[in-house]
Amino acid sequence: MKNYKAAIAALVVLTASTVADAQIRAAQKFPDYQFTVVKENPITPVKNQYRSGTCWAYSTIGFVESEVIRLNKIKDEAKYPDFSEMFVVSHSYSDRALKYVYLDGNLTFGAGSEADDVLHVIRDYGIVPQAAMTGMNYGTELPVQGELDAVLKAYVEAVVKNPNRTLTTAWHNGFDGILQAYLGAYPETFEVDGKSYTPASYRDALKFNPDDYVSITSFTHHPFYTQFAIEICDNWRWDRAYNVPIDEFMAVIDNAVMNGYTLAWGSDVSEPGFTRDGLAILVNSEVKASTGSDQERWVGKANEPNAEKAEVPEPVEYEATQEFRQIGFNNKSTTDDHGMQIYGIAKDQNGKKYYMVKNSWGASGKYAGLWYATESFVAGKSMDVVVHKDALPKELKAKLGIK
């Protein structure tokens, strides 16, 4: 009974917190920003993950597409690549099922994952064009995968709970059969521009080497300039990231963008300042922003007839320090909610710096599927970034022993 009461109490607290966050988000207003591009690198069109938990695949495949454009110096947008996310998702689910069973179910099993997972799949299985495996075999135009996720989870749980001491040799084939029924069979060969490829030969022809990419993070519960597996459920492969101080983490992003690279970005988006209108601002909801005189700052604006027409003030942001990041990680106010792609840098009309971000929610929001994230938001709420090793500043690359 105590456990029941504790669970109810926890649910009430969680619900209240969620409602409060929603109210803050709804009440938050922002100025009318005008952005000017400082540096913008090529990206492919925005896609829509719709009702699937596969942002990690969409964001990282978008990142890989940009890398292929860069590596092959593709100038014609009509020749930009379009790779299959569901080829990656299917292989990832299949690998995860094996690990889940090997660990007797002591592993998170679901649709969520992270950017390094995509690199594993490309390294082990190759890559295919979207046309070779659309993954849409279940009657909808956009991904709707709640049924698939539930069926796969129930299947592996049944295997783990098998009363027999030994497992059959059929269980994994059965699991893959479900994947193929929903997402399609893996293409053994396909044609691109009149040439025949396998998934592996296509990967190699694209000059994309997964081993050339590194994950970078910034937390103090592990030593800097070492690698560790970030302790998040979606890191089910236990991939390791290089740990660096926050100023060097941000320098990685700036150096990459300004030198023609994009980055796969894992971030927390359950923040009042991450809006539906394409903004990501680390809003400090405890501090009320104001404009005008110092008197207005402290005692408020007079009740003027045209007060409702006053300019919306610039929001106050948290200072995204190393300590702020660590507190967020420790108390779970910063989690790995969402994967996106950082591809550029812009400034608003006041000269404030933003990172240009490609999302995977279709052409939504004010900027048709693109977001503008402040430096504070990226510094404070990033889980990690994945980037080509040559995009790192030379001094940091040497510190980390990366060749």
- The whole-chain average pLDDT of the chain stands at 90
Q: What is the pLDDT of residues 257-288, one digit of tens each?
A: 999 999 999 999 999 999 999 999 999 988 76
pLDDT at residue 10 is higher than 80 = no
212-238 core/surface letters (b: 16 or more CB in 10 A; e: else): ebbbbbbbeeeeeeeeeebebebbbbe
Per-residue pLDDT, averaged over 76-80, amounts to 97
Query: Please, which residues have CB within 8 angstroms of residue 338's CB and are 6 or more apart in sequence?
Result: 55, 266, 267, 268, 269
d(CA 241, CA 263): 14
Count of all residues that appear for the chain in the document: 403
14 phi and psi, to 5 degrees? -65, -45
The pLDDT-based confidence of 20 (bands split at 50, 70, 90) is: very low
Per-residue pLDDT, averaged over 163-175, amounts to 93
Q: How far is CA 113 from CA 93, 118, 204, 216, 362, in A?
A: 10, 9, 25, 16, 20
Q: What is the pLDDT of residues 194-222, one digit of tens each?
A: 999 999 999 999 999 999 999 999 999 99
Residue 319 has a pLDDT of 96
Q: What is the pLDDT of residues 234-262, one digit of tens each?
A: 999 999 999 999 999 999 999 999 999 99
> Could you tell me the domains of the chain?
33-282+317-400 (3.90.70.10)
Per-residue pLDDT, averaged over 393-399, amounts to 97
pLDDT at residue 369 is higher than 60 = yes
